[in-house]
Structure 1
Amino acid sequence: MSEQDSQAMHHPAVVAHRNSRAGDAQLRIADAITKFAGSMPFVYIHAIAFVLWMLFVEGSPWPTLTLVVSLEAIFLSTFVMIGQNRQAAFQQIKADHDFVEQELELKTNTELTRAIHVMTTELHRRLIEDGAEQ
């Protein structure tokens, strides 16, 4: 599937948002970290690493392990907030796009309704005139 085909399958706001994020290296890195941190391999790696650390690296691992886990939690919570901010920005872009599209649709429907009204009025006028002539 080509990139153009994949873009055709997504909402225009999604495509625009994805393209804007792809242009920023920091956002790509944050997205990659967030994607990995929210996966089961991340959990497995940490479970194995912590067990190995407690068994083989330090005799009394708790003070150092607590520090490492706390620092990691700080960074991971930051990435969660980055992801939430990204999602909120995307939702705003999509809402703005949908609003513009709905307004355009409303305008088109209003114009069609007016045109139908004009044609119906003209049809009734002609029918009345034709009925009066007979």
Structure 2
Amino acid sequence: MTSADPARVIAIARSWLGTPYHDQASLRDVGCDCLGLARGVWREVVGPEPFPIPPYSRDWGETGPREVLAEGARRMMIEVPPVEAGPGALVLFRMKPRAIAKHVGILTQPDTFLHAYERLGVIEEPFTPSWRRRIAFAFLFPQR
């Protein structure tokens, strides 16, 4: 599987800037959550979503025996070591120690990333050491 052009992924992701936050939605300029942003970018970069996304909780502190989000990403994306993730990569964050990875962002530059945040919508912000420490998994979008 060959990865998609990172510049294209970033341009498409940035076209979602300003989209309001809406839990479990995935419509540019209408509303999305962090996974909805990734799903929308997927549809434009790769094509139709390969399987339906089941409802999920908003609890970033959720624990459990399975990394459901990472398992789903592995089915359709190219996994890379988090330390090798660069611009255009999808990163999954573990927001609390011992919790499963439940937050998603897209790296846009070595020091910035895009994500959907409650009350703020889709924003691009500095990729600080605090965010870097939380990365649990990283994936590349495949080519169409």
**TM more than 0.5:** no
**TM-score, normalised with respect to structure 1:** 0.22
Q: Which has more strand, going by share of residues?
A: 2
Larger radius of gyration: 1
Q: Which has more helix, going by share of residues?
A: 1
